[in-house]
Chains A and B, each alone.
Chain A
Amino acid sequence: MIRLRGIHKSYWMGANRLHVLRGIDLAIAPGEFISIMGASGSGKSTLMNVLGLLDNYDEGEYRFDGELLKDLSETRAARVRGERIGFVFQSFHLIPFKTALENVALPLYYRKVPRRQRLRLAAEYLDKVGLSDRATHLPRELSGGQQQRVAIARALISQPRILLADEPTGALDSQTSREVMAVLQGVQDEGVAVVIVTHEHDIAEMTDRVVHLVDGEIESDRRQERRAAFDVPVPGTQLPPPREATALP
């Protein structure tokens, strides 16, 4: 589905050139669950941004379904992002003055889906991440884990082919991290490729494939048997209602 060949990317810090990606070759198949690991400065976030068309690259080829994506205009990049790629960020990046439901519905607004249909779909996706009872809450009224699940629902609503998550659990405690990872595993089960960046080994263990980056190059790329995220009861696609809800009398 996605094929990277010889991707190079440098940043200019004043007069110094910072060669961040030094020839990345990577293929991602539909439904894969990949974690990218590496020390800070190894280029994992940059690779993520290139994959997500959030940033351009200097050399090499990025093909999506065989189509070369290079030096796209912002408008074109926005369209590709909107149609094929979903994002989850470490700090959630929900729009603070919109309710959970409206945040989830936002991508469909840019795809010109009528409002009524948009909100119905958003409710559906909120339900998928177990937050249908939080639809009218603003982000600041939600816990970190809940916010991240809203962000995941938002990323999924436009039915992307691939979901990119940059340190999705970086701002969460291990308990909540597991909830979020369970949701991501459920997503991946539906055939959406998921790529996460992480530096936590126990998080990487929950994925099918671990790519190690060192100094902008792929040092190792191995497949593994993933571990289910829920060694604790967590809300998720095919799981009982969320903890918060059950705690209520």
Chain B
Amino acid sequence: MIDFDLWQEILDTVRRNKLRTALTGFSVAWGIFMLVVLLGSGTGLQQGVEYQFRDDATNSIFVRAGRTSLPHQGMRPGRDVQFDTRDYDTVRDRVPGVEHSSGRAFIRGSTIVRYRDESGNFSVRAVHPGHQFIEKTLVRQGRFLNELDQREFRKSAVIGTLVAEALFGKSPAIGREIEINGVFFQVVGVFDDDGSEQERELVYVPVSTAQRAFGGRDRLAQILFTTGDATLEESQEMELSVKELLANRHLFDPADPRALFVTNNVENFQRFASLMAGIRAFIWVVGIGTLVAGVVGVSNIMMIAVKERTREIGIRKAVGATPFSVVRLVLEETVLITAIAGYAGLVLGVFTLEGLARALPEADFFRSPQVDLGVALSATLLLVVAGALAGFFPARRAAAIRPIEALRDE
């Protein structure tokens, strides 16, 4: 379709109009470049935010006990609230919409975890089996704690990868007996976690066993649960219901802001998600604005280009050029310029993003910026088509007028 002669013709015009070609090319390349960089930065921001939420389930609610700050039913403020297993049962059974749930208890003081000669100081978390889903614990070997462990007070332990490394090195951990503050537990699983290093230095044991073995009675430090696919409003309802139930049990004012500390990740995530949506929409608006500016620029230049070539087109027609060949000449020039410039802008944009990703430290709010290549290519295509259309209409008009009219403007 593109023969050598046509290339020759196009190169002739390009060479003759270096400035015009450069301007057209620049407006296209700039449009694509900006779009790529903007979209890439948007992705970077989004991934930064998602990274912050990687650790825990985004639909989880954490409840910690505090100290009352309001008088209630004749009692003075300043009473400590202490959760126990029945609080956990209440939340699990009576708050509508609870999906996975767990209590959390910690062993007081420092905990020495030992295997033969190896030992270390690791935190031990006593949890229910549902904890795995709330904390997004990734079981690498063996299994997580289950209902049987919980019901039968089994001395099972699931250890973090760093714990396993410290105690067992490369040798297998499953089935070994480890000693936690003098009590022997059997390792049933090794887990990993996307969170910080501390998360991988943990040991999980069943709540029931821990309460019995370490003299914790039936106390719990925290109650946590996931909300399934509850909406933000539903999660807030659940939060409220938790407060009322626990206030009832522990005799404090449900409106007391310091008796319970509730972290609603649904709310947090939702806030970030809507922020992200806003940023993304903004980026698209700016990006599309840039594209439109590019399209207008290309259209303008092509229209002027065709206008100033009216005479030349008349000459070509007088020596036998068909209207089709005239349109084709203009179109292929436009497509060639916009395609090359668009591609250049695309490559430049991608390189800039790469450079940005390398130059900037991996921060929590901005990481691995990248652009959807499909989107970038479609944008380039859009500009090429827009340029072609912008050239097509004046070219068709110029090709349709009788050569004598085209030759007349002197």
Contacts and interface: CB of A to CB of B under 8 A. Distances in A.
B16 A93 contact: no
Interface string B366-398: 000000000000000000000000000000000
A109 B319 CA distance: 10
B219 interface: no
A110 B321 contact: yes
Interface in B13-28: 13, 15-16
Interface in A94-120: 94-95, 97-98, 106-107, 109-111, 115
Interface string B304-330: 000000011011111111111100000
B404 interface: yes
Interface in A113-135: 115
B93 interface: no
A78 interface: yes
Interface centre among B4, B13, B318, B402 (most CB of A within 10 A): B318
A97 B12 contact: yes
Contacts of A75: 322-324
A82 B312 contact: no
Interface in A192-246: none
B410 interface: yes
A91 interface: yes
Contacts of A62: none
A167 to B, nearest CB: 13
Contacts of A173: none
B402 A79 contact: no
Given A78-B321, A110-B316, A110-B325, A55 B400 contact: no
B12 A54 contact: no
Interface string A12-48: 0000000000000000000000000000000000000
Contact of B320 (A49, A81, A97): A81
A89 B407 CA distance: 9
A109 to B, nearest CB: 6
B72 to A, nearest CB: 92
Interface residues of B, number: 29
Nearest to A89: B407
A75 B326 CA distance: 11
B399 interface: yes
Given A82-B319, A87-B319, A93-B311, A74 B4 contact: no
Nearest to A111: B320
A79 B325 CA distance: 12
A154 interface: yes
Nearest to A113: B5
A177 interface: no
Interface string A70-92: 00001100110111000101010
B379 to A, nearest CB: 33
A200 B400 CA distance: 34
Contact of A110 (B15, B314, B320, B407): B320
A89 B8 CA distance: 26
A144 B320 CA distance: 24
Contact of B5 (A54, A56, A87, A115): A115
B403 interface: yes
A54 B404 contact: yes
Contacts of B315: 93-95
A72 B250 CA distance: 98
Interface residues on A, range: 20 to 34
A188 interface: no
Interface in A154-186: 154-155, 158
B180 to A, nearest CB: 88
A106 B404 contact: no
B316 A81 contact: no
B320 A79 contact: yes
Interface in B316-356: 316-325
A9 to B, nearest CB: 12
B16 A97 contact: yes
A110 B311 contact: no
Given A49-B404, A54-B402, A91-B410, A81 B323 contact: no
Contacts of A107: 319-320
A109 B3 CA distance: 11
A111 B4 CA distance: 15
A108 to B, nearest CB: 9
Nearest to A164: B318
A54 B319 CA distance: 11
B318 A93 contact: yes
B347 to A, nearest CB: 31
Nearest to B314: A93
A116 B310 CA distance: 28
Contacts of A98: 12
Contacts of B402: 54-56, 74
A74 B319 CA distance: 13
A115 B4 contact: yes
A26 B400 CA distance: 29
A97 B8 CA distance: 12
A35 to B, nearest CB: 20
Contacts of A54: 318, 402-404, 407
Contacts of B15: 97
B323 A154 contact: no
Contacts of B400: 74
26 contacts: A49-B404, A54-B318, A55-B404, A56-B402, A74-B322, A74-B402, A75-B323, A75-B324, A78-B317, A78-B320, A81-B318, A83-B320, A89-B407, A93-B311, A93-B315, A93-B407, A95-B315, A97-B16, A98-B12, A109-B5, A109-B9, A110-B321, A115-B8, A154-B319, A155-B319, A158-B319
6 nearest A-B pairs in the assembled complex, by CB-CB distance: A82-B320, A54-B404, A110-B320, A107-B319, A97-B16, A78-B322
Given A75-B323, A110-B316, A110-B321, 7 more contacts: A54-B407, A55-B402, A74-B323, A74-B399, A91-B410, A110-B322, A115-B8
